[in-house]
Structure 1
Amino acid sequence: MKRSFLVLAGVSVLVVLSLFFGPAGLSAQENQVQKAKIFAEEYPLISDSDMYCSILIWDQKIPEIKIIGSEREDERAMMVDSDTFYINKGKEDGLDVGQMFLALQIENPIAKLGYLAQKKGKVRIIRLEDHVGVVKIEKSCGDIQVGNYLIPFEEKETVIGKDLGYNNNLKPGESLTGQVIYLDTDFNIAATGHWALINVGAEQGLKVGQQMTIFRQKKPNYPREAIGNLVVIDTQKKTATVRVLSCREAVEKGDIVQVK
């Protein structure tokens, strides 16, 4: 009787193991592995730095809210996280304590498209008087200075995906095409991870998250060659900010970009 019980128990264990490790069990495990592989291949294509610290073409009216001074201006010109500064607007101008803004440095005009601008980080109003306010830096990008402007802060969502790479499959004119008009480097060339500006934007239907192949055509009668891939991280009316995802040659001003 005892021996029969042990045999029956052994058979039961084998049945359970076969159910777990048999074809159905292996299939479930393979599905989990496959999902893990897919997850590993995909990642946030647009980072917080891309969204809140990058360059852009400012094509709107110059913002009204401006930094006019700082608490520690006698010690240093540059402001960093947790520093406080003063702005030229207050509660009588419609501002509220707790409001979040994005600091913006506006520089020289570019090709009649607008002004070159740099996002400088997130700031928050902590105190208001009638026509002046006190603002604290929550998260800066480099430095914030007197003379910078503030625009309303908008929370943005990243884009999950993967670098689609680059090849010569796209035909000229097959999809939206533009050119690189500015590179955010000191060497007039850009590589993987660098920001650049292109001369197509929201009015042409370009959207954040779209990837574009970078082409170079050395002479008008030469074929163009794919040299890299980029992702759109911000759009303005007629321009966009992009980040190079991958490239086999340094990206230069004048290179062609085309939506995949």
Structure 2
Amino acid sequence: MGRIGEGNMNKIGWMLLLVSALSFGQGTQQQPAPQTGKPTVSVQIVQHNQRAITTSPTDVDVYCSGYITTDRIPENHYIVGGQNSPDQSRYAGGSDAAFIYGTGFKEGERIQIVRRVRDPNHYEMFKGQRSDVAKLGQPYFDVAIVRIVHVERNVSVAVPELNCTDIVVGDLAIPFVEREKPPYRNVKVDRYVAATGKTTGRIIMANEFDSYLSSNRKVYLNIGADKGLKVGDYLRATRSYDYKYHDPVDGLSSKAVTYDETQLKPPKPPRGVEREFPRLTLGDMIVLHVHPRSATAMILTSYEDIHVGDGVELMDTSDAPPLGPSSSLTPSQPAGNTANPASANPEAANAPTITCSASPATVRAGDRATISCDVASADNRPVTVRFSSNGGKLTTTGNRAVLDTSQTGPGPVNVRATALDDRDMSASAVSTVNVEAPPAPPAAASKLNELEFKPNSAYVDNRAKAMLDDIALRMQQDANSMLFLSGGSDANEAPRLATERAQNTMTYLTQSKGIDRRRILAKPGAKKSHTVEVWTIPPGATIPQQ
């Protein structure tokens, strides 16, 4: 076998590195056949299949995607509370009732709940991200679709029909508008595609302020109706190597030594050679809805993490027919492709089933409850369980979740468990944990006053008697409390004075004011002073340590 030149070796090394990265992203690798000659590198053209079972995005996809718009969203109708206010502040379960402030509603009317949002993160995924978002308008997240069930003068009652996240006070209520569900298409996605000259743009933000994205995530683009974008258009996500090399994070790897210690004077790549690398296709996405300057799209295929800041380019889908109900495709799986394979017979598929129970179903605030779920798949598909709640803190393990109510007020907490299989088919169950108010803390002793005595004297003078008259009146008004008298004496006084001062104080209260002696405890204390401390002891409280 002939000797391979150093230049070819370097080229092959780069290509093998790309193949290795793709294989790693796939999660499971097949062992390559033994090589007996010069290594070969192949790049697959991937035939992309849409999400399982459905031939178009689901209601959750379409109505829980959010958007950026320059259109003015009215703010005269909004959430002000709910059936369990003020104890409950988040509403997500099917039994939750939310109150909407405003007039003009009708029973049976469907309402969209949206949230005007701001990004709490100060870090920008790319320079100028915040200003770019501001140029496109105001971001809104979809929260829920609700139905009006009761109308009064200024407040109407609504129940959720579709929840994207918890409804909270201040969320906006706007008229429900039907959104188009574009059909999925049998699109081919090539890992490397040169610029086509079609409309290009950028991912400038993502739903829930996500930064690193994969299949099924919703993204916001800086191109919209102004660039001719339409619902159902497909775009590829792209990234240039020049961008990767100069990214503050990803570019750090370019600073590392890439040569092997066995190499002898390898050729040094020319400066800026990364600009000559082919543009990388990261995946594809479908446009869900379009606004004047932006659009919302859902990622379908992601060969690797897609980042906010990556580019997008309109794809030509003229030769990609829509998927029909009986579409049967046999795709070649790409390395790292996280898209779900389409079902050859969607009508025969069964969603998973799930049943859940809470134990205990009623807890004191601060206690914990365990939600246990049983899941099954008639089609023997792998199923995962996701939990969410409208209160408390959840810790999940497999099919179980522990609800911590330490930061929760009294009232019901709804825990939603969603069983999701590998085809994105799902079923949900809601368990309710009733949180009761914690028991009242035990009463504590409190200091009422401190009587001053003259040095070397245990005589209760008129000033002390005036204070004791007020204390006696309080004792008469609160027949269940006790009194604790703690006498003190200075270091240069006789120790017996501490006892005498406490006893004389008690004598005045019992003989002159008629307080039952059994309600008073008089003892010498440890405090070095010529005083008597007067403490009230409510029922159940302990005597203070002296």
Query: What TM-score range do you get, normalising by the shorter chain?
Result: 0.7 to 0.9
Taking a change above 3 Å as real, the CA distance of residues 172 and 190 of structure 1, as seen in their structure-2 partners, is same
Which deviations, in whole Å up to 9, do the C-alpha atoms of 1:170-197 show, x marking residues without a partner? Answer: 5536211110101336762111121111
Kindly provide the amino acid, as one letter, of the partner of residue 110 in structure 2: M
Residue of structure 2 equivalent to 1:89? 102
Residue of structure 2 equivalent to 1:104? 114
- Out of 72, 76, 79, which is 2:88 matched to? 76
Residue of structure 2 equivalent to 1:224? 279
Taking a change above 3 Å as real, the CA distance of residues 55 and 41 of structure 1, as seen in their structure-2 partners, is closer
Q: Rg larger in 1 or in 2?
A: 2
Q: Cα distance, 1:234 vs. partner?
A: 1.7
Which deviations, in whole Å up to 9, do the C-alpha atoms of 1:101-155 show, x marking residues without a partner? Answer: 1110111273332222211121112222233322222221221111000111122
1:235 aligns with 2:235: no
Runs of 4+ in 1 over 6 A off after TM superposition: none
1:199 aligns with 2:199: no
Q: Structure 2: any 5+ residue segments left out of the alignment? A: 1-48, 120-132, 244-274, 316-546
- 1:19-98 superposed matches below 5 A: 43-63=54-74, 64-80=76-92, 81-90=94-103, 94-98=104-108
Structure 1 contact 189–250 (Cα < 8 Å) conserved: yes
Percent identical pairs in the alignment equals 27
Distance 2:208 2:98 in 1: 29
CA RMSD in angstroms comes to 2.5
Distance 2:102 2:208 in 1: 34
Taking a change above 3 Å as real, the CA distance of residues 133 and 150 of structure 1, as seen in their structure-2 partners, is same
- 1:180-191 superposed matches below 5 A: 180-184=203-207, 188-191=211-214
TM-score (norm 2): 0.37
- Out of 136, 140, 144, which is 2:159 matched to? 136
Distance 1:187 1:107 in 2: 13
Distance 2:82 2:176 in 1: 21
Distance 1:41 1:163 in 2: 13
> What secondary structure is seen at the aligned counterpart in 1 of 2:236?
strand
Structure 1 contact 104–150 (Cα < 8 Å) conserved: yes
Structure 1 contact 206–235 (Cα < 8 Å) conserved: yes
Q: Structure 1: any 5+ residue segments left out of the alignment? A: 1-37
TM-score (norm 1): 0.75
Distance 1:185 1:96 in 2: 31
Structure 2 contact 239–282 (Cα < 8 Å) conserved: yes
> What secondary structure is seen at the aligned counterpart in 1 of 2:105?
coil
- Out of 299, 304, 316, which is 1:244 matched to? 299
Residue of structure 1 equivalent to 2:176? 153
> What secondary structure is seen at the aligned counterpart in 2 of 1:74?
coil
Q: Cα distance, 1:212 vs. partner?
A: 0.6
- 1:174-185 superposed matches below 5 A: 174-184=197-207
Distance 2:154 2:203 in 1: 42
Kindly provide the amino acid, as one letter, of the partner of residue 281 in structure 2: A
- Out of 308, 331, 334, which is 1:253 matched to? 308
Kindly provide the amino acid, as one letter, of the partner of residue 96 in structure 1: K
Structure 1 contact 125–133 (Cα < 8 Å) conserved: yes
| Bigger strand fraction | 1
Distance 2:201 2:56 in 1: 21
Residue of structure 1 equivalent to 2:136? 113
Which deviations, in whole Å up to 9, do the C-alpha atoms of 1:22-56 show, x marking residues without a partner? Answer: xxxxxxxxxxxxxxxx9x99842312111111121
Structure 2 contact 65–207 (Cα < 8 Å) conserved: no
> What secondary structure is seen at the aligned counterpart in 1 of 2:190?
coil
Structure 2 contact 221–297 (Cα < 8 Å) conserved: yes
Taking a change above 3 Å as real, the CA distance of residues 107 and 128 of structure 1, as seen in their structure-2 partners, is same
Kindly provide the amino acid, as one letter, of the partner of residue 224 in structure 1: R
